[in-house]
Amino acid sequence: MRLRQSALLATFAIITCGLSACASDPDTAKPTLHSHARVDLQLYKGTWYIIANIPYFAENGKVMARDEYALRSDGGIDNDYVFRRSFDGPDKSWHGVATIVPGTDNAQWTVRFWGILDADYLVLEVAPDYSWALVGHPQRKYGYVFSRQPRMDDALYQQLLGKLVGYGYTATRLRKVPQLPGDKAP
Residue 183 inside a domain? The answer is no
Residue 79 inside a domain? The answer is yes
- Would you state the pLDDT for residue 174? 95
Averaged pLDDT in 10-residue chunks for the chain of 186 residues: 44 43 60 91 98 88 96 96 95 95 96 87 98 96 96 97 96 95 76
Residue 48 inside a domain? The answer is yes
Alpha-carbon torsion angle 21, 25, 30, 36, nearest 10: -70
- Would you state the pLDDT for residue 14? 42
- Would you state the pLDDT for residue 176? 95
Residue 184 inside a domain? The answer is no
Residue 41 inside a domain? The answer is yes
How far, in Å, CA of 26 to CA of 90, rounded?
A: 36
The enclosing domain of 115 has a CATH number of 2.40.128.20
Q: Count of domains in the chain?
A: 1
DSSP 3-state assignment of 15?
A: helix
Q: Are strands 144-147 and 175-176 parallel, antiparallel or unpaired?
A: unpaired
b (16+ CB within 10 A) / e for 77-94: bebebbbeeeeeeeeeee
| Domain boundaries, position 60 | 2-176
* Helix (H) or strand (E) run with residue 158 in it: helix 154-166
Residue 45 inside a domain? The answer is yes
Residue 35 inside a domain? The answer is yes
- Would you state the pLDDT for residue 38? 97
